[in-house]
């Protein structure tokens, strides 16, 4: 109850802050650069997306700094200067000035100034992505309302420590968000006889423009999906070794270090898309969520200086090993949890 009240208050305060705080060009540029599919972005495309994002922010009731009528291209140039070459690089000698992210982590700080405005759209998009990523025709990518509700509530739960969600409740917020995306012609909704939402799919316009708006929302949330997935697979490492019945208790700090090392390795081997996911803070949040979900147990002693907190995997989440090979069997609760997160991970 207390948590709920604090959260509601937090949301109220946050939306009050949003209403008065002005989104700066650096935040617009950071957000655009971190939500692009390609390696870099040409100047004209960057300007176009900054204009698009400014419109979206205004439509959400946010405010965007305007610079005495200077054209967006000038505002973008100045913003890039402010961010500096350590954050945004320029490739010289091309047909068009082309920018790229040098330090994605520092840029994420600027992206964070806009992400909360779009968190509902981002979760809906990640929920739809469970089908969209399978490809194929529109029929194949269509999701039912209940499927979407399941996935969006799963993701909201997973990220409830990271973001503050609208207080209207999950299903009302989902409907509002879907109606908004329909108005923006990003998705197409089929309704049943009494006006309830039956299915949702990408609109023809959105498909024709190469999903650029839909992808924007996905790119906002993908680093967080990646972090949740990384945290969850790192828990597999807490499975007792073959032949050992006793639980493995590991210092929480060490478990998080291991998750970070695993993340770095997967990133450099191409199995993890976002280095941002390897961030210790994000992993700490993930572990806290896992404890709240009862996936892991954390034991704290009074004297935490000499006896740092330790963790083990909860009994009913513990993966089984194949008695013959000693390998972890890809089945069970933890595995299903990992799979559900994985369904929203970025493909390729």
Helix (H/G/I), strand (E/B), else coil: 249: coil
Return the closest-CA partner of residue 13 out of 153, 86, 116: 116
In this chain, which of 234, 282, 340, 344 binds ligand NAG, going by CB under 6 A? Answer: 282
The single residue listed with the structure tokens 């909201």 is: 156
CB of 310 to ligand NAG, least distance (A): 24
- CB closer to ligand NAG out of 14 and 328: 14
In this chain, which of 108, 114, 120, 203 binds ligand NAG, going by CB under 6 A? Answer: 108
**237 contacts 310 by C-beta, under 8 angstroms:** no
d(Cα 235, Cα 346) in Å, to the nearest integer?
21
In this chain, which of 281, 303, 315, 347 binds ligand NAG, going by CB under 6 A? Answer: 281
* Residue 302: CB atoms within 10 Å: 6
CB of 98 to ligand NAG, least distance (A): 25
Residue 22 main-chain phi, psi, to 5 deg: -105, 130
- CB closer to ligand NAG out of 79 and 319: 79
CB of 12 to ligand NAG, least distance (A): 17
CB of 108 to ligand NAG, least distance (A): 5
Strands 63-64 and 22-23: parallel
Structure tokens belonging to residue 194: 């009494």
In this chain, which of 8, 21, 44, 112 binds ligand NAG, going by CB under 6 A? Answer: 112
Contact code string over 148-167 relative to ligand NAG, x by CB under 6 A: --------------xx----
d(Cα 244, Cα 238) in Å, to the nearest integer?
12
From its phi and psi, is residue 93 left (phi > 0), alpha (psi between -120 and 50) or beta?
A: left
Of 35-43, 54-62, 108-116, 128-136, which part binds ligand NAG (CB under 6 A)? 108-116
d(Cα 291, Cα 311) in Å, to the nearest integer?
9
Structure tokens belonging to residue 19: 């209403």
- The reply on whether position 121 binds ligand NAG by CB under 6 A is no
**Per rule CB under 6 A, count of chain residues that contact ligand NAG:** 7
d(Cα 311, Cα 249) in Å, to the nearest integer?
5
Strands 296-299 and 310-313: antiparallel
In this chain, which of 109, 172, 294, 326 binds ligand NAG, going by CB under 6 A? Answer: 109
- CB closer to ligand NAG out of 112 and 171: 112
Binding site for ligand NAG (CB under 6 A): 108-109, 112, 162-163, 281-282
């Amino acid at each position: 109850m207390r948590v709920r009240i604090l959260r509601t208050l937090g949301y109220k305060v946050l939306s009050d802050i949003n209403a008065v705080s002005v989104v700066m060009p650096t935040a617009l540029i950071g957000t655009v650069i971190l939500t692009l599919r390609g390696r870099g972005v040409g100047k004209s495309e960057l300007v176009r997306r900054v204009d698009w994002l400014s419109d979206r922010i205004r439509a959400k009731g946010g405010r965007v700094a305007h610079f005495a009528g200077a054209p967006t291209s000038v505002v973008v140039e100045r913003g890039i200067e402010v961010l500096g070459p350590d954050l945004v690089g320029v490739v010289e000698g091309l047909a068009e000035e082309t920018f790229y992210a040098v330090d994605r982590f520092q840029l994420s700080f600027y992206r964070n100034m806009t992400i909360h405005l779009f968190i509902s759209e981002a979760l809906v998009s990640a929920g739809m992505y469970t089908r969209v990523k399978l490809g194929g025709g529109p029929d194949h990518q269509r999701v039912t309302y209940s499927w979407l509700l399941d996935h969006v509530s799963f993701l909201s739960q997973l990220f409830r420590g990271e973001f503050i969600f609208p207080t209207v409740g999950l299903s009302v917020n989902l409907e509002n968000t879907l109606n908004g995306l329909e108005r923006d012609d990003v998705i197409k909704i089929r309704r049943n006889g009494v006006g309830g939402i039956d299915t949702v799919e990408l609109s023809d316009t959105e498909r024709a423009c190469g999903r650029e708006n839909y992808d924007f929302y996905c790119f906002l949330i993908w680093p967080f999906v990646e972090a949740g997935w990384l945290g969850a697979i790192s828990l597999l490492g807490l499975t007792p070794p073959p032949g050992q019945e006793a639980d493995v208790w590991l210092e929480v700090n060490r478990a998080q270090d291991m998750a970070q090392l695993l993340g770095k390795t997967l990133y450099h081997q191409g199995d993890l898309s976002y280095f941002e996911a390897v961030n210790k803070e994000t992993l700490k949040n993930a572990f806290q969520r896992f404890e709240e979900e009862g996936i892991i147990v954390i034991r704290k002693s009074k004297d935490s200086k000499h006896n740092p907190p330790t963790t083990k995997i909860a009994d009913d989440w513990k993966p089984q090993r194949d008695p013959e090979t000693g390998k972890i069997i890809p089945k069970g609760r933890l595995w299903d949890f990992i799979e559900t997160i994985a369904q929203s991970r970025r493909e390729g």
